Structure 1
Amino acid sequence: MKKLKNESELLKEALRVGAIYAQKRKVGQFEPTDSSKQKIEYLYKLLVHDKLIQPLVKGDETEPNMKRKLALWISRQLPESHPLLK
């Protein structure tokens, strides 16, 4: 699996946008004490539940795979001219 360009920055943006999405849906919010792993897993499961991303195959639900899914999701939400996509 080829790594995305700016994958870590895309993941940060996905978590930021995902936190706003979760608040607007009134399903929760990230706390400053939440670990990165908890945020990634929660956002991944929320987006799968809302059918905004396709779920990973059972047994393939590892943190690196969830990070990649979130980075891919946000890369498709951003406009083509966004600096993270260049």
Structure 2
Amino acid sequence: MSKTAKINNEDKLFKKALEVGSQIAKMQGYKLFDKNTSQPNKVMAVYLFLVEVRQITPLPADKTDGKNIKKRLALWIHSALPDDDPLK
């Protein structure tokens, strides 16, 4: 997949990435956030956790904003899903 290609179902993939990332953290004994945590903080917590456990490569410091993190998480889950998954 090229760097400029639009990802189909990016929003759904992003939501799935948040869900899967937080489940992975929970299985490893981490509590990234609670029900009162804001959405941007949840996204950042999952992103930083996945960087820490080396599931994704970190973005450059000047590109660490919501849009780029969302795309990075969507790409991560897109590559992790099986080929027959409906989100692909």
TM-score, normalising length: structure 1? 0.90
- Structure 2, unmatched stretches of 5+, are none
SS at match of 2:36: coil
Cα contact 2:50–2:56 (8 A) shared by 1: yes
The reply to whether residue 82 of structure 1 matches residue 85 of structure 2 is yes
Task: For 1:30 and 1:77, locate their aligned partners in 2 and report how far apart those are by CA, in whole Å.
Answer: 23
* 1:2 shift after superposition: 3.7
Cα contact 2:17–2:74 (8 A) shared by 1: yes
- The amino acid across from 1:56 in the alignment is L
TM-score, normalising length: structure 2? 0.89
The reply to whether residue 64 of structure 1 matches residue 67 of structure 2 is yes
- CA deviation map 1:21-56 (0-9, x unaligned): 110111114322222211110011011111111110
Q: CA RMSD in A?
A: 1.2
- Superposed structure 1 runs of 4+ greater than 6 Å apart: none
Task: For 1:52 and 1:68, locate their aligned partners in 2 and report how far apart those are by CA, in whole Å.
Answer: 15
Aligned match of 2:38: 35
Cα contact 2:14–2:74 (8 A) shared by 1: yes
* 1:3 shift after superposition: 2.9
Among residues 12, 18, 22, which one is paired with 2:21 in the alignment? Answer: 18
- The amino acid across from 2:28 in the alignment is R
Aligned residues: 85
- Structure 1, unmatched stretches of 5+, are none
Percent pairwise identity? 35
